Amino acid sequence: MLDRLRTRELTVTELAKPFKMSQPTISRHLQVLERAGLVVRGRDAQFRPRALRAAPLQDATNYLELFRAQWDDRLDRLEAYIARLQQKS
């Protein structure tokens, strides 16, 4: 859903089209995304189009980047350890 909202606002009906889910199920998913601050609800006459709010995703990306170097280092050490084990056998 977030990927589909990346390009433009969509109504619940438009969002539901490619998914094999009922409209109420799509609406429940959208409510969760709205509470998480990832989707905002607009107002266009009788429609309530949804739009992506990407700022929280950027915040999560920035947070996870703090750990990238740590995990790269750990994986490099694991790879070196496995190479040493393979050389011994």
The reply to whether 82 and 44 lie within a common domain is no
Can you give the pLDDT at residue 41? 84
The reply to whether 65 and 41 lie within a common domain is no
The reply to whether 12 and 41 lie within a common domain is yes
Q: Which CATH number goes with the domain that contains 3?
A: 1.10.10.10
Cβ 29 vs Cβ 40: under 8 Å:
no
The reply to whether 31 and 7 lie within a common domain is yes
Q: What is the mean pLDDT of each run of 10 residues along the chain (89 residues)?
A: 88 86 87 90 72 84 89 95 92
Can you give the pLDDT at residue 46? 63
The reply to whether 4 and 47 lie within a common domain is yes
Can you give the pLDDT at residue 14? 87
The reply to whether 69 and 87 lie within a common domain is yes
Can you give the pLDDT at residue 86? 94
The reply to whether 65 and 87 lie within a common domain is yes
Number of domains in the chain: 2
Can you give the pLDDT at residue 21? 84
Q: Write out the residue range of the structural domain in which residue 72 sits.
A: 55-89
